[in-house]
Amino acid sequence: MKAAISSLRHNWTSVFIVRMSHALALKFFQLAKEEGMMGQGFVWITAYGLTDIFDVVGSPALDVMQGVLGVKPHVQDTVKLQNFTQRWHSKYRLENPGTSLSEPTVSGLYAYDTIWALASAAENATYVNLDFGPSVTKNGSTDFDRIDTSKAAQKLRGALLKVNFSGMSGIFRIEDTQLVSSNYTIINIVGQDRREVGFWTPNFGISGSPNMKSDINTIIWPGDPETVPRGWLLPRNKRLQIGVPANPGFGQLVRYENGPEGKKGFCIKVFDEVVDNLPYQVLYDYHGFDDGQGNSNGTYDELIYKLYLKEFDAVVGDVTILANRSSYVDFTLPYTESGVRMLVPVLDRRQKTAWTFLKPLTADLWLGTGAFVVFTGFVVWCIENHEDFKGTPANQIGSVFYFSFSTLVFAHREKIKNNLSRIVVVVWLFVVLIVQQSYTASLSSILTVEQLQPTVTNLDEVIRKGSYVGYLNDSFLPGLLKSLKIDESKMIALNSAEEYNNALSTGKVAVIVDEIPYLKLFLSKYCHNYTMTGPIYRFDGFGYVSTVF
């Protein structure tokens, strides 16, 4: 039996239903307690045939069954039962003088009702001669095996199946050769007491009352009364050994420091949160895949291969889900955005000089505006013929130009008398208003908004120029870059966001190709001088890794 209990301890389940004899059950729970299986995380439920073990065995069972739940048929306290209990107490004292008084068990009440049912069935069955003649269908090896069933027994059995009366235990009725019990009481062993914590009825299911739906009482579980067991446990001799990649350059994603501050990266925090919400307890230890100084001890592929070699049970970190890796390990669903893009410097096209105010309008527009200024003044001069536009030729030419330019700021003082002139001036003023508003908006944008443009827009341009390409060290990206026809001699491995910035700002590399989560972390710190550009090369994102089961 001890070996069987030890094998149970190494299973994932922590919920057990016990159905055995009283003597065997006492021995079983004693061994379970010695194995540490009567503590936190375990659930023990006894079938109703075993729930009255405490009446039979006494305190030894209570000592080793703390926190056990038992189910027994619910017996309603009636006047008939109270009278029977008094008679039973009197007879018990008479036959067992000097012993402690106990209560009638449910099994005892069933036995009492069974005798009444059998007597009632015998009374209802008419007399039939006992006929144990030889059977025509049975061919046993002995005479006893060849004896046929008595007709009287068949009749008595039929009468017993029809019995239906109210006994000490409740309604006594048999269906499919089984005694029917519709209501059950849930018992919880706490100390030297058997607490009723709830009931199960066909109408209300599990409830605090047999007559209405309500919450059950608090259950005191084995080991830790305040912790509700989750129903599943890792084998008690098993703690998961989890590898964590070393990526000091992007500690926001993956970092584990088991110190006073307990700093953790995003990937570790997500994993811890998921495990905390599992319906069972998982015990695990983190192991950094580093050289003891915080630096990586190899590539991500090498780390995953150690998982394949059973040196780790799982890998938690910024591990990208790839088809070639999935051939020998399992991945969870991705928990980050997927994809690879380029990181490139940007140029500020906004070059402010003393002549910046001329940039909002093109040269053609400037010339066209000047021509319309002169043309409008000339048309108004031709139509108007009063003293404001008369005088010497020089004065008239000056009046034409002054009138046209003054309308640009709506400051003309010449009187317009002809209706045709007024129409021309109104149209011109409307055009001037549009030009002014557009010019003001464009000039404000040039003076205030950064005009940033990426220096490179696609990898083909990088390949054509023979420029260098940066990538994250120890990642899978060299294989991707080779598939994109980039020469291996033009690839430079980098380790951190600071190295990214230094390589791009000094021109050591023209672009950096990396996964989007890393690039977003980089841009959160260096957002003014760089941008993501180019096509997105789709991948499945980060996932947690486990061995193939």
Is 56 in the same domain as 9? yes
**Would you say residue 351 lies in a domain?**
no
Residue matched to tokens 């030894």:
60
Q: What angle do CA 5, 11, 16 make, to 5 degrees?
A: 60
- Of 309, 337, 365, the position where a domain reaches its end is 337
Is 191 in the same domain as 312? no
Is 373 in the same domain as 414? yes
Is 366 in the same domain as 419? yes
Give residue 545's pLDDT. Answer: 92
User: Which pairs with CB-CB distance under 8 Å and at least 24 residues apart come from 55-63?
Assistant: 55/102, 55/103, 55/105, 56/22, 56/105, 57/22, 57/23, 57/26, 59/192, 60/26, 61/25, 61/26, 61/29, 62/189, 62/191, 62/192
The DSSP symbol for 245 reads E
Closest CA to 494 of 476, 471, 475, 478: 471
Give residue 147's pLDDT. Answer: 61
Is 197 in the same domain as 53? yes
**Would you say residue 344 lies in a domain?**
no
The CATH number given to whatever domain includes residue 471 is 3.40.190
Is 464 in the same domain as 438? no
**Would you say residue 345 lies in a domain?**
no
Is 461 in the same domain as 478? yes
Is 110 in the same domain as 187? no
Distances (CA, A) of 226 to 35, 171, 517: 22, 39, 41
**Would you say residue 163 lies in a domain?**
yes
The CATH number given to whatever domain includes residue 262 is 3.40.190.10
Taking the C-alpha atoms of residue 112 and residue 6, their distance in angstroms, rounded to an integer, is 40
The CATH number given to whatever domain includes residue 57 is 3.40.50.2300
**Would you say residue 391 lies in a domain?**
yes
Is 57 in the same domain as 204? yes
Taking the C-alpha atoms of residue 435 and residue 212, their distance in angstroms, rounded to an integer, is 82
Number of structural domains in the chain: 5
Taking the C-alpha atoms of residue 337 and residue 335, their distance in angstroms, rounded to an integer, is 7
Is 69 in the same domain as 199? yes
**Whole-number average pLDDT of the chain:** 79
- Of 302, 337, 372, the position where a domain reaches its end is 337
- Of 337, 367, 395, the position where a domain reaches its end is 337
Q: pTM score, two decimals?
A: 0.51
Phi, psi of 397 (to 5 degrees): -65, -40
Is 68 in the same domain as 207? yes
Is 164 in the same domain as 110? yes
pLDDT in tens, 60-78: 888 888 889 988 888 888 8
Percent of the residues in the chain that have a pLDDT greater than 90, as a whole number: 7
**Of the ranges 127-141, 182-196, 342-356, 400-414, which is most confident?**
182-196
**Would you say residue 96 lies in a domain?**
no
Taking the C-alpha atoms of residue 34 and residue 23, their distance in angstroms, rounded to an integer, is 17
**Would you say residue 310 lies in a domain?**
yes
- The burial of 319, by beta-carbon neighbours within 10 Å (0-12 exposed, 13-18 middle, 19 or more buried), is given as buried
Provide the domain limits for residue 458.
Answer: 453-540
pLDDT top residue among 372 and 506: 506
Average pLDDT over residues 158-182: 81
pLDDT in tens, 99-138: 766 677 777 888 888 888 888 888 877 655 555 555 555 5
